[in-house]
Amino acid sequence: MIDLHTHSTFSDGSLTPEQLVREAERARLSALALTDHDSISGLEQFMAACSKSIVRGVPGVEISVDCNPSDATMHILGYFIDPANAELNEHVNRLRDGRQHRNEEILKRLNAMGLMLNMNEISSFAGENNVGRLHIAQALMARGYVRTTQEAFDKYLAKGKAGYANRLRFKPLGGVEMIRKAGGIAVLAHPFTLNLGKQALATCVGELAQGGLQGIEIYYPQHSSKLVRQYLDLAEQFHLVATGGTDFHGSPMPDVKLGRGFGVLDVPNAVLEQLDALRA
């Protein structure tokens, strides 16, 4: 059993890279990919921990890009990237700076609504993490403005709400190109989140495949059997590897278990073999 979609404290997960590897050992996984949001800062620790483990480590990333047809955020997973690639580092640094600018804008909007927070208290929830909306939600909860982080998103932080602010994102093909230039394999993550109809999604995937996309994430906790069949057809049509993972975050998403999702997910080991074949 493998899990090719996880997050650590270097983005919005609750476990450090080392803790993530230990959790993978307990879950009896044979391979694990670390795919933090717009960050490769945890990969050195992750791969070092995997080198001392029976769990095979896959260095990865999850790049946020715009999806114009649905006005949603698209995520492109990159597997077997080179963390030392200069161009990739430049891009993720730009994304980090864009995220910081966005945090400041969200804070300004919340303060204007009478929700008084400051960056120091928000940062205290992030620790080593890149500060994001989750940590702003936690600060709102600590102040008593909301009862749960979900309420914070529903009232203030979700797209379309008064506290929401856009941030820098690349175009989809730019994300694919970034990953490929860093020696990685580019995979479309959880396509159901794009909220595209069947034909629109096929058109989108076809354009990405022409631009260098090599896989599509099919085995995923929220994908129904009907969606899995639809996405398998897309993978066959555009000659893409069918990948999978849980999108494990730890305590922010406690119902999603490493390697098993909601308890029944089983990503075939053959997925990793197919990814290895693309590298050969």
Residues 73 and 188 in one domain: yes
Structural domain includes residue 190? yes
Residues 9 and 44 in one domain: yes
State how many domains the chain has: 2
What is the domain-level CATH number for residue 239?
3.20.20.140
Domain of 238? Answer: 2-92+168-279
Asked whether the predicted pLDDT for residue 70 surpasses 80, the reply is no
Residues 195 and 247 in one domain: yes
Structural domain includes residue 162? no
What is the domain-level CATH number for residue 149?
1.10.150
Q: Looking at residue 128, what is its pLDDT? A: 62
- Higher pLDDT pick, 99 / 259: 259
Structural domain includes residue 48? yes
Residues 186 and 80 in one domain: yes
Residues 46 and 182 in one domain: yes
Structural domain includes residue 182? yes
- pLDDT-derived band at 14 (thresholds 50, 70, 90) equals confident
Residues 160-176 have pLDDT tens digits of 899 999 877 788 999 99
Residues 141 and 36 in one domain: no
Alpha-carbon gap, residue 191 to 205, rounded angstroms: 9
Residues 80 and 175 in one domain: yes
Domain boundary among 126, 157, 188: 157
Domain boundary among 157, 176, 198: 157
- pLDDT-derived band at 98 (thresholds 50, 70, 90) equals confident
Structural domain includes residue 212? yes
3-state secondary structure the chain: CEECCECCCCCCCCCCHHHHHHHHHHCCCCEEEECCECCCCCHHHHHHHHHCCCCEEEEEEEEEEEECCCCEEEEEEEECCCCCCHHHHHHHHHHHHHHHHHHHHHHHHHHHCCCCCCHHHHHHHHCCCCCCHHHHHHHHHHCCCCCCHHHHHHHHHCCCCCCCCCCCCECHHHHHHHHHHCCCEEEECCHHHHCCCHHHHHHHHHHHHHCCCCEEEEECCCCCHHHHHHHHHHHHHCCCEEEECCCECCCCCCCCECCCECCCCCECCHHHHHHHHHHC
Residues 110 and 76 in one domain: no
Residues 165-216 have pLDDT tens digits of 987 778 899 999 999 999 999 999 999 999 899 999 999 999 999 999 999 9
- Higher pLDDT pick, 111 / 149: 111
High-pLDDT (> 70) share of the chain, %: 98
Tokens for 247?
Answer: 């999108």
Residues 20-66 have pLDDT tens digits of 999 999 999 999 999 999 999 999 999 999 999 999 999 999 999 98
Residues 27 and 142 in one domain: no
Q: Looking at residue 71, what is its pLDDT? A: 63
Residues 270 and 245 in one domain: yes
Residues 231 and 104 in one domain: no
Structural domain includes residue 88? yes
CB 273 within 8 A of CB 34: no
Residues 85 and 150 in one domain: no
Domain boundary among 157, 176, 200: 157
Structural domain includes residue 254? yes
Q: Looking at residue 169, what is its pLDDT? A: 78
Structural domain includes residue 163? no
